[in-house]
Structure 1
Amino acid sequence: MNAKYISIYHKLVEQIEKGVFTVGSKIPSEKSLMEKFDVSRDTIRKSLQMLEQNGYINKVKGKGSFILDTAKLNFPVTGLISFKELSNQIGREAETIVEILEKKKPSKFLREQLEIDDQTAIWKVVRARKIDGKKIILDKEYYNCEYVEKLSKSICEGSIFDYIENTLHLNIGFAKKEIVVQACTEDDQKYLDLDGYDMVVVVNTFVYLDDGSLLQYGQSRHRPDKFKFVDFARRIQQINE
């Protein structure tokens, strides 16, 4: 027989998935749930902990527990897709907000990432991505000016990849990606609607042209409750000599 807290967890999940508790609303207090299910505070806390661990609620200190949107967006790991292409695929209301666009000299860190010298200028592009009215992605990208001489706000509000491929006639070939989880930075707090989250999922990307030239280094910083990163993996058959 399941423990009481597990049974209560499943009942609350059912109510959340049926829309009894709407996204963004506050879940009933511990006291209310104790009275409803006739159990101890410890039992309710275990149930709420399971809800939090499985992404159904977010606990905000001093405010309570809020229902999360469990309909996450699929974000391909192996593919190389622009935000414009992604937003067209998901059919959701999407907007790009250009926060920073500037040509500058690279720092030592960026010189190392882009494999350039201190005489090569770069473009710094910072864009907040809004989906369904919430800013949930912060893209920080750095382009080698040897390949991208000009950029404008209108280009950045659309698709930089589209501009590179169809206006500059450069062929984007492949990318290397690294996915990590980091504590939120001041920029994350400034540009994103974090809704109480203090961590973000960060995708570090190195984008190359088809001839192997390094075009761009970027960070895509995601609110963790809104995305799941998906991949298709095939088992590699070992060749017996």
Structure 2
Amino acid sequence: MKSKYDLIQQDIANKIMHHIYPANSFLPSESQLCDLYGVSRETIRKALALLLEQGYIQKIQGKGSIVLDFSRFTFPVSGIASFKELNQSEHMNSRTKLIKLEDMNVPTEVFQLDKDNLFPATYVERLRIVDSEPIVLDRDYLLKSVVTTLPKVAAEDSLYEYLEGKLGLDIGYATKMITVEPPTPHQQELLHVPDNKDVVIVRSQTYLSDTTLFQFTESIHRADKFSFSDFARRKKVKGSNRK
């Protein structure tokens, strides 16, 4: 169950994305937000801290929290979001086509794993189509040690909605690597990639909050249809001598 400040953060982020709080405007003051949501100032400050960390706002001393231009962050590399969540937040006219759902071992050569170790998994291959054009091919391997079965309806809809909502898993973090590679014939056919054109591949390993590895993912993107961006915030180093 999500905390009050998580829910408030989501509500404010949603209002920013729908331009209720437009870019370069200030959010209501902390006291106004306390009255609006009926919570303590501490709860509001935790929600604002999350918005700050995620790049939605910047705090200006003596003035409040100004809304940043979130439109730059169309496909965040460092975040963990399902395609369904991105579709809703970015208002993409998209659909998902399930290509494969079967049991197999995680391919060690793809994810640079020890060849002597087997990772039994449920393999899910899905084609993401936006405005009638295929733009990304997702290849997910859910480890059987954590996710024993995966219903077809969940594979066709949202893996994370099933994992978090139905199984109660607490998804924590992921490590990611991005490369540019020639597509395989299968990838080229599904994504309609022209000859002699490369694809962008994001390979990730995703963990639960208790550090249990549960998912390997390959996302193959048409380079002409997706751009990747991120929000970076400098963390101050206490006690350092900068010259």
Q: TM-score range by the shorter chain?
A: 0.5 to 0.7
Amino acid at match of 1:109: E
Q: Secondary structure at the match of 2:74?
A: strand
Assess, with a 3 A threshold, how the Cα gap between structure 1 residues 107 and 235 changes in structure 2: closer, same or farther. closer
* 8 Å contact kept, 2:73–2:230: no
Q: How many residues align?
A: 170
TM-score scaled by structure 1? Answer: 0.64
**Pair member with larger Rg:** 1
User: What's the counterpart of residue 191 of structure 1?
Assistant: 190
User: What's the counterpart of residue 103 of structure 1?
Assistant: 103
**How far apart, in 2, do the equivalents of 1:188 and 1:110 lie?**
15
Assess, with a 3 A threshold, how the Cα gap between structure 1 residues 115 and 211 changes in structure 2: closer, same or farther. farther
Shift of 1:111: 8.6
**How far apart, in 1, do the equivalents of 2:73 and 2:232 lie?**
19
Shift of 1:104: 2.1
User: What's the counterpart of residue 228 of structure 1?
Assistant: 227
* 8 Å contact kept, 2:94–2:131: yes
The answer for unaligned runs of 5 or more in structure 2 is: 1-70
**How far apart, in 2, do the equivalents of 1:176 and 1:76 lie?**
13
Shift of 1:89: 1.2
Amino acid at match of 1:216: Q
**How far apart, in 2, do the equivalents of 1:172 and 1:115 lie?**
27
Residue 146 of structure 2 corresponds to residue 144 of structure 1:
no
User: What's the counterpart of residue 79 of structure 2?
Assistant: 79
**How far apart, in 1, do the equivalents of 2:202 and 2:131 lie?**
22
* 8 Å contact kept, 1:123–1:143: yes
Residue 178 of structure 2 corresponds to residue 179 of structure 1:
yes
CA shift digits 1:147-190 (9 cap, x unpaired): 11111221111001110111111110001111111111112112
Assess, with a 3 A threshold, how the Cα gap between structure 1 residues 111 and 227 changes in structure 2: closer, same or farther. closer
* 8 Å contact kept, 1:74–1:228: yes
Q: CA RMSD in A?
A: 2.6
Amino acid at match of 2:161: D
* 8 Å contact kept, 1:172–1:209: yes
Shift of 1:112: 5.9
Assess, with a 3 A threshold, how the Cα gap between structure 1 residues 209 and 113 changes in structure 2: closer, same or farther. farther
Assess, with a 3 A threshold, how the Cα gap between structure 1 residues 145 and 110 changes in structure 2: closer, same or farther. farther
CA shift digits 1:89-147 (9 cap, x unpaired): 121211111111101244443796499943x5211111110011011100111110111
Assess, with a 3 A threshold, how the Cα gap between structure 1 residues 194 and 110 changes in structure 2: closer, same or farther. closer
Residue 162 of structure 2 corresponds to residue 163 of structure 1:
yes
* 8 Å contact kept, 1:136–1:194: no
* 8 Å contact kept, 1:197–1:223: no
* 8 Å contact kept, 2:78–2:230: yes
Amino acid at match of 1:92: M
The answer for unaligned runs of 5 or more in structure 1 is: 1-70
* 8 Å contact kept, 1:182–1:199: yes
Higher mean alpha-carbon deviation, 97-106 vs 166-175, is at 97-106
Assess, with a 3 A threshold, how the Cα gap between structure 1 residues 180 and 187 changes in structure 2: closer, same or farther. same
User: What's the counterpart of residue 216 of structure 1?
Assistant: 215
What are the equivalent positions in structure 2 for 1:199-214 lying under 5 Å apart? 199-214=198-213
Amino acid at match of 1:208: Y
**How far apart, in 2, do the equivalents of 1:83 and 1:196 lie?**
27
Shift of 1:194: 2.2
* 8 Å contact kept, 2:127–2:137: yes
Residue 93 of structure 2 corresponds to residue 93 of structure 1:
yes
**How far apart, in 2, do the equivalents of 1:186 and 1:175 lie?**
28
Amino acid at match of 2:168: H
TM-score scaled by structure 2? Answer: 0.63
**How far apart, in 1, do the equivalents of 2:86 and 2:162 lie?**
16
